[in-house]
């Protein structure tokens, strides 16, 4: 009787070929990010990544702000987070510091 060996091969991802798997995943991620930004723009929103860039914060900080109900209002759609542009503007208004000038004569 002839012996047959079966090799277990992991399934290929839909978007990756074996020879250029890394190149395709980077290109796919860039295309997907561009599509998400275009959709967010059409909804008058910005993406979570764009908000993090504007606020100069890490993804963990953005998540902590959402959990603590800090920062601008947001929309959770599936596993994506979008911020309405108006909500970001309103939040920035709350952070605006007004400069108060007082005459030195008042202190003397």
Q: 80-84 and 75-77: which strand pairing?
A: antiparallel
Quick: pLDDT tens for 55-69. Answer: 999 999 999 999 999
pTM for the full model? 0.65
Q: How many CB atoms lie within 10 A of CB 95?
A: 8
Could you tell me where the DSSP H helices lie in the chain?
A: 21-42, 48-55, 59-67, 85-95
The answer to whether residue 7 scores a pLDDT higher than 50 is no
Quick: pLDDT tens for 78-107. Answer: 999 999 999 999 999 998 888 888 777 766
The answer to whether residue 1 scores a pLDDT higher than 70 is no
């Amino acid at each position: 009787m002839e012996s047959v060996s079966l090799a277990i091969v992991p399934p290929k991802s839909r978007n990756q070929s074996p020879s250029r798997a890394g190149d395709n995943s980077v290109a796919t991620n860039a295309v997907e990010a561009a599509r998400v930004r275009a959709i967010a723009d059409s909804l008058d929103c910005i993406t979570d990544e764009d908000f993090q860039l504007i606020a100069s914060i890490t993804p963990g900080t953005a998540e902590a702000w959402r959990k603590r109900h800090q920062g601008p209002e947001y929309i959770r759609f599936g596993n994506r987070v979008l911020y309405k542009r108006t909500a970001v503007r309103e939040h920035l208004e709350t952070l605006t510091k007004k400069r108060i000038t007082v005459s030195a004569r008042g202190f003397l």
